[in-house]
């Protein structure tokens, strides 16, 4: 049965979440809006509208986007109130911080375990310095 409180044309909170997750996954794959648009057969402006939550993404189009990004469609949806869903939501929030995806992509290319630990220690030290200055 249809919910009369939801207009077929009105964008919902879930549409915005799906858009933000499309953007996060696209960026994590190093794709531009243009590249994703070409891959799924729409303009980069349409990708912008999906990502901003201005336009809804239909089920078929979302399936194509998921396939191009190499993820299951379920990655674009919240999964209830359990701890795993909360952790997933927080991870997407972290990835939306400017530079986070670039930092993660650079970090995973470091093959030397010791160097990776040293980079992590450097970032943690910088974070503590920032917190100390704010206190």
Q: Where are the domains of the chain?
A: 1-96, 98-135
pLDDT for res 130: 79
Query: In the predicted model, is pLDDT for residue 76 greater than 80?
Result: yes
Report the alpha-carbon distance of residue 69 to residue 85 in Å, rounded: 20
84 pLDDT band, cuts 50/70/90, is low
- Beta-carbon contacts of 79 under 8 Å, excluding residues fewer than 6 positions away, are 85, 88
Q: What is the pLDDT of residues 6-64, one digit of tens each?
A: 556 777 888 888 998 999 889 888 899 999 999 999 999 999 999 998 999 999 999 99
Fold exhibited by the domain 1-96: 434 Repressor (Amino-terminal Domain) (1.10.260)
């Amino acid at each position: 049965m249809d919910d009369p409180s939801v207009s077929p044309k009105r964008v919902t909170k879930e549409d915005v979440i799906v858009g933000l997750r499309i953007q996060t996954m696209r960026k994590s794959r190093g794709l531009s809006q243009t590249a994703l648009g070409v891959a799924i057969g729409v303009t980069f402006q349409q990708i912008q509208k999906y990502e901003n939550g201005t336009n809804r993404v239909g089920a078929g189009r979302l399936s194509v986007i998921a396939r191009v990004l190499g993820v299951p469609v379920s990655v674009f949806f919240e999964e209830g109130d359990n701890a795993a869903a909360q952790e997933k939501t927080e991870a997407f929030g972290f990835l939306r911080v400017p530079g986070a995806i670039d930092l993660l992509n650079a970090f995973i290319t470091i093959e030397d375990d010791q160097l990776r630990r040293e980079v992590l220690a450097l970032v943690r030290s910088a974070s503590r310095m920032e917190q100390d200055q704010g206190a």
